[in-house]
Amino acid sequence: MFRWNPHVTTRESFTKDFLASLVVFLMALPLCMGIALASGVPVEKGILTGIIGGCLIGFITGSPLQVSGPAAGLTVLACEIVATHGLAGLAIIIVCAGLLQLFMGLARVAQIFRAVSPAVINGMMSGIGITLMLSQLHIIGALHPKAHALSNIRHLPDLFANILNPKTAAMQSVSIGILTIVVLILWTKLVKGRLAAIPGALVAVVAATAITSILHLPLATIPLPENIFAGIQFLDLAAVSKMDPWSLARFSVALAIIASAETLLSAAAVDKLHFGPRTQYDKELIAQGIGNTICGLLGALPMTGVIARSSVNVMSGATTNRSAIMQGLWLLLAVAAMPGVLRLVPVATLAALLLFTGFKLIDIKAIRKLWNFGPRLVGVYALTTIAIVSTDLLVGVAVGIALSVIKLVYTMTRLHVTIDRQEGKSFLQLRGAATFLSLPVLADALNSVPANTELHVCMEDLDYVDHACLELLMDWEKQHESTGGTLVLDWGELRAMFKSKRRARHIHPASTSVLHCHSNSNARSPMKTTAV
């Protein structure tokens, strides 16, 4: 983690921001172009989003070290929108999503997006990664990808046939794609020292472009216009009348939710990398809403806060938002000063970069962490991923959230009841949540306790108790005492679990002794366990 020094001079700070901005720019340029191609839009639209994300959002951001721009996580949704409504429809949907983000930020609901289960977030990223990889495989194989992941899977035999066809340039395209990934991996793993500050993606692009030009390979290159501002396509309000209102609303909400979640989760991750100023989440959501509204008005791609570029920004020593602003300026200068150089880059190279990016979105370490918290979380992760690949992003995320809620309800309504009997004494161990849904099991356990017995209720592992279970325990205590038995129970602890003060007045205030339910564990008989 990088430590922020509030006493650093303005000159030192500016120098660090300047150097960091160059590194981020070198990483952002190929990714902006590749994300645009993967989204099915002209390259200049992705670069335009990167410029807006730096030059504009950098000034009003609520997360000073976060870098905004086009994100690989939105390519699947953007591609689907373009296939359904065209570029004019994409612009309208981005404006609607931006206004929705702006409203949510003003309503101060940004913290809600941080409450999404990590299993759903990781499943979403994996689903996006798999979908992105499937589409980029077709581009590397010199074919146009299909609009849906399942269609790309079904057409894999066509891809292999095209690669093996000597009449096409697919084999050369695949070779350049492989070269790009190999150079990227080797540079990242092997290069140390000052050279390591140069992004591997840039080195891979330069190497692949040089070889393609030297060998005069007949590969498709980036169709970048002479003027970056040629990509500006002002909002066409007349296109709204041609769009299905339900489809417009569905895509707008999906884009707003996914872009907001990715941005705020990225900001939270960036905060863990340094000790500098913390993110103001509502302010950041407002900034993203303004940025996406402007992107839509100018016909650019949607933007989010991007963790890859943001982490590189922090690791490169950035101290303020000046770094993000300057990297936007470098993007503008690059496309204005050397469009001819950028047009030499093979499309297969950018597809390979995104293929590698998609692979990294499938975080194996995250799966292992989820497994440590139980297989059910891995199930939520897997089903979210499958739903995204087999349907679409919005449906997949909705499935994941629904599964998370079901898991929560299941966990909060499950009570394990263990009875340990000894001579003249019984120990009732409660683990989980004692709610009205578990009344039958708890009642059966209590009714199995012999008369004239001292029952100890152990609650070390009890998370919650509701009014129904409290009433059952109090009624059973009276009945058990009438048979000569006793109930040893920490009513004070139960009062703390049951939050309602009005009902808590009816709980017995007498016994508040601390129970030691495991003190005689060596003398216990075999246990009976039930659960609901």
pLDDT digits (tens, 9 = 90+) for 95-138: 999 999 999 999 998 887 767 778 887 888 788 789 888 988 99
Q: Is the pTM of this model over 0.75?
A: no
Judge whether residue 216 has pLDDT over 50: yes
Distance in angstroms (rounded) separating the CA atoms of residues 524 and 327: 69
531, 416 contact by CB (below 8 A): yes
Question: Dihedrals φ, ψ of 454, to 5°?
Answer: -90, 115
Q: Structural domain boundaries of the chain?
A: 10-405, 413-531
Q: What is the mean pLDDT of residues 209-222?
A: 91
One-letter amino acid of 415: L
Judge whether residue 25 has pLDDT over 80: yes
Distance in angstroms (rounded) separating the CA atoms of residues 472 and 479: 11
Q: What is the mean pLDDT of residues 247-262?
A: 91
* 40 — pLDDT class (breaks 50, 70, 90): confident
pLDDT: is 407 or 187 the higher one? 187
Q: What tens digit of pLDDT does each residue of 182-191 get?
A: 999 999 888 8
Q: What is the mean pLDDT of residues 408-418?
A: 79
Q: What tens digit of pLDDT does each residue of 50-78 get?
A: 999 999 999 999 999 999 999 887 888 89
Q: Give, rounded to a whole angstrom, the gap between the first and last alpha carbons of the chain.
A: 45
* 12 — pLDDT class (breaks 50, 70, 90): confident
Burial of 486 (0-12, 13-18, 19+ CB in 10 A): middle
Alpha-carbon separation of residue 476 from 351, 413, 452 (angstroms): 69, 21, 13
Please count the CA atoms within 13 angstroms of the CA of 277 that sit on its side-chain side: 14
Q: Which two tokens stand for residue 530?
A: 């039930």
442's CB contacts (< 8 A; 6+ apart) are 415, 417, 430, 434, 469, 472
- Other Cβ atoms within 10 Å of 188 Cβ, number: 15
Q: Does domain 413-531 have CATH number 3.40.50.300?
A: no
